[in-house]
Amino acid sequence: MDVRTRAPNCGSLLPRARGGVIFKAAVCFSICLACGTVPALAAPAETPAAPATLSMRGDGPAPAAKPFSITRADPQIDALIAADAKAELVATGFGLNEGTTWVRDGKGSGFLLVGGLLDNVLYKIAPDNTVSVFMEKAGYTGNDPDTVGAQTRAGRSHVLLIGPSCSGVDPQGRIVWCADDDRRVMRLEKDGTHTILSTGVDGKRFSGPNDITIRHDGGIYLTDNDFGLRGAGKSPLKELDNGIFLIRDGTTKLVLSDKQLGGIPNGITLSPDEKYLYLSAGQKMFRYTVKPDGTLGDSTLFTEGVGIGDGMRADSRGDIYSTGGAGPGLVRVMSPQGKFLGSINLPVLNAEPKKQICSTNVAFGDTDARTLYIAACDAVYKIRLKVAGILQGPAS
């Protein structure tokens, strides 16, 4: 090994090392220690900080404010939403909400049900936008919340999903809801008592009933996933694989597994004629034919993209209005033929503490069914439409 030393100018040293690897800095440093001169070492290059992510959910700065808007991707949307349509703020302060359903009162009016995911209640919103509690402990009735409810973020906050994520009205006018953390589907009887419709299948319990759509014969299609369990799919309490179930006449059966669907099931709705069942998994929406016995037949990929993955409803023409969950406050509008017509874009708020405006579910309401109510995480909005939706339950 030929090591040349020339102190104190270590910068000119170029010693050769074993195997052809050059240890210039280390040898230079030791030589200069011996001669009493230590050169200044160059500071390591700093890694540039990643740009802060602007998001209404989680850490980092709040996103830039954006006003309400309508994206008109196809002229057909003009038959659904007027050019001057506006979004009206109905109520705010929910943190995270879900499960919107319009309940007719038999007197020509009604009210909106909204699930409070953080508050463990079903809220009632009257036509004058007054908010009250309709039902306490609607998602979890126990006294040990340490093992239930998936954890997530709402704005900056770390929160627990413990409330009900779905609601509906059966043909007899009885309210049905998802008691997520009790892991069962419930019904409110006319006398105020609660009936358990299903806790699972084959002796195994649901993981977290998430969303429902109700047939004209009273049968209930249910999506079940992991949101009722602490730790979600990793919970040791998980008993059933995720899937789509049919609850009817006191029995529950699996009609589609998550593997057959291709992802975690969430949003679900029937077409107006009940010939098709729409299901979402991630940002994909599938359409299944419904057989006479209620089981599912052939499927097609109906659409994919932003605004899919959470609750959805069909209007009287068969157009589909779908939501994307915790992402942007956007409602995707699709024609019955699967054409993307546009989107309803809720405002983005630039404020601290962060106010998360998203879209988790929709419901048609008011006496003419021409108002689309949107569960928007911290808020509820509504927008008037030119076409009527489908109201659940009996007309009177």
51-60, 115-124, 222-231: which has the highest mean pLDDT? 115-124
153, amino acid identity:
R
Q: Count CB neighbours of 305 within 10 A.
A: 14
Ramachandran angles phi, psi of 11, nearest 5°? -65, -20
Q: What is the pLDDT of residues 15-25, one digit of tens each?
A: 333 333 333 33
- Residue 209 contacts residue 178 (beta carbons within 8 Å): yes
* Backbone angles phi and psi of 197, in degrees to 5: -85, -35
pLDDT at residue 147, rounded to an integer: 81
What's the pLDDT tens digit per position in 283-296? Answer: 999 999 999 999 99
Beta bridge partners of residue 169, listed in sequence order: 175
The H-or-E segment that residue 99 falls in is: strand 97-104
Q: Has residue 257 got a pLDDT over 70?
A: yes
Reported confidence tier of residue 41, pLDDT bands at 50, 70, 90: very low
Averaging pLDDT over each range in 11-20, 156-165, 228-237, which range is the top one? 156-165
- Per DSSP, the residues of 289-354 read EEPTTS-EEEEEEEEESTT-SS-EEEBTT--EEEE-BTSSSEEEEE-TTS-EEEEEE--B---SS-
8 Å CB contact between 279 and 223: yes
| 3 state DSSP class of 84 | coil
Task: Name the CATH code of domain 69-384 (choices 2.120.10.30, 3.30.465.10, 3.30.365.10, 3.40.190.10).
Answer: 2.120.10.30
Q: What is the DSSP letter of 28?
A: H
Copy the structure tokens of residue 323.
């939501």
Query: For the residues 260-288, what does the mean pLDDT come to?
Result: 97
Residue intervals of the chain classified under CATH 2.120.10.30 are 69-384
Q: pLDDT class for 56, splitting at 50, 70, 90?
A: confident
pLDDT classification of 231: cutoffs 50, 70, 90 = confident
Write down the mean pLDDT value for the chain: 88
